[in-house]
């Protein structure tokens, strides 16, 4: 675990101006522990309560996810904070019933779904590859399957055909996503959440390669003078990419470390 003194020092500039600070968190692997069945993921109650406390103290508390925004909100269990889902393609404002979706990406939905379901169907079905439909994104999961290697091979074949059809793929931990060629990532998500927020400082915490884009977004905003203090927090596990570990300003150990970070922020 990160020594308490190091954690306190890292967050001190943010705690000094809480009303001028945004706290942004990835969901899976950061707030919610990774589980074999993605649909079973949830944020622990204590972590949820700490998030609610931080919401009352800081200028903005929000979540960023590769999942659909409504699904991210279900997992976190707080309706009064905003969510950016599908790697920035969706924005679900606090209290809203439905997210706004990037119209250009929405136009690709049929082609993305056809690429996922119409390519090597026999191999896909035999491998048990799990298909997660997320509107303009399709995720191919193999974590926890009986033959992960066979399912991953099926996913790679689908991805190869998707690229040939003009789609974009993105690899995560035990998942490949098929996306439209519309540019969007967690940097887009960060910009969407911060747009209009009256803050000078920001923290982002994440555990996967996709979170590097969010780190880059904060650093670019700081270089432009739009943010003063930033803190990029890497959530360390056995599967955390080395690039994320290298780029983080602060490392915490797993979702327990994130809970400790929230506790320190809320203290």
pLDDT tens over the chain, length 267 residues: 555 558 999 999 999 999 999 999 999 999 999 988 888 999 999 999 999 999 999 999 999 998 999 999 999 999 999 999 998 999 999 999 999 988 888 888 899 999 998 888 888 888 999 998 888 889 999 988 989 999 999 999 999 999 999 999 988 888 999 998 887 899 999 999 999 899 999 999 999 999 999 999 999 999 999 999 999 999 999 989 999 999 999 999 999 999 999 999 998
Residue 137 has a pLDDT of 86
pLDDT recorded at residue 135: 81
Q: Torsion over CA of 114, 115, 121 and 127, rounded to 10 degrees?
A: -130
Burial track 128-157 (b if 16+ CB lie within 10 A, e otherwise):
bbbebebbbbbbbbbbebeeeebbbbbbee
What CA–CA distance (Å, rounded) separates 105 from 168?
12
Q: Given this model, what pLDDT does residue 2 score? A: 59
Looking at residue 136, what is its pLDDT?
A: 84
Q: What is the pLDDT of residue 257?
A: 97
Taking CA 98 as the corner, what is the angle to CA 97 and CA 100, rounded to the nearest 5 degrees?
145
Q: What pTM, to 2 d.p., does this model score?
A: 0.81
pLDDT of residue 173: 81
- Architecture of the CATH domain 4-100+184-266: 3-Layer(aba) Sandwich (3.40)
**What is the pLDDT at residue 213?**
96
Domain coordinates in residue numbering, the chain: 4-100+184-266, 104-179
The CATH code belonging to domain 104-179 is: 3.30.70.1020
Confidence at residue 123, expressed as pLDDT on a 0 to 100 scale: 81
């Amino acid at each position: 675990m990160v020594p308490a003194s190091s954690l306190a020092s890292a967050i001190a500039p943010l705690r000094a101006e809480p009303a001028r600070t945004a706290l942004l968190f990835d969901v899976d692997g950061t707030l919610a522990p990774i589980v074999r069945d993605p649909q079973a993921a949830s944020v622990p109650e204590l972590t949820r309560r700490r998030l609610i406390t931080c919401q009352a103290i800081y200028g903005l508390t929000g979540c960023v996810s590769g999942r659909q925004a409504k699904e991210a909100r279900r997992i976190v269990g707080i309706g009064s904070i905003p969510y950016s889902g599908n790697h920035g393609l969706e924005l679900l404002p606090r209290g809203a019933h439905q997210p706004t979706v990037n119209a250009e990406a929405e136009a690709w939905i049929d082609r993305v779904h056809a690429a996922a379901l119409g390519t090597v169907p026999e191999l896909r079905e035999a491998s048990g590859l799990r298909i997660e439909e997320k509107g303009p994104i399709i995720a191919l999961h193999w974590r926890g399957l009986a033959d992960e290697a066979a399912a991953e091979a099926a996913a790679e074949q689908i991805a190869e055909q998707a690229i040939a059809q003009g789609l974009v793929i993105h690899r995560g931990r035990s998942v490949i996503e098929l996306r439209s060629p519309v540019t969007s990532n967690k940097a887009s998500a960060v910009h969407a959440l911060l747009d209009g927020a009256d803050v000078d400082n920001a923290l982002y915490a994440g555990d996967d390669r996709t979170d590097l884009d969010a780190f880059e977004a904060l650093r670019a905003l700081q270089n432009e003078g739009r943010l003063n203090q930033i803190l990029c927090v890497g959530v360390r596990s056995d599967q955390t990419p080395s690039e994320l570990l290298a780029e983080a300003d602060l490392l915490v150990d797993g979702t327990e470390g994130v809970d400790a970070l929230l506790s320190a922020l809320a203290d």
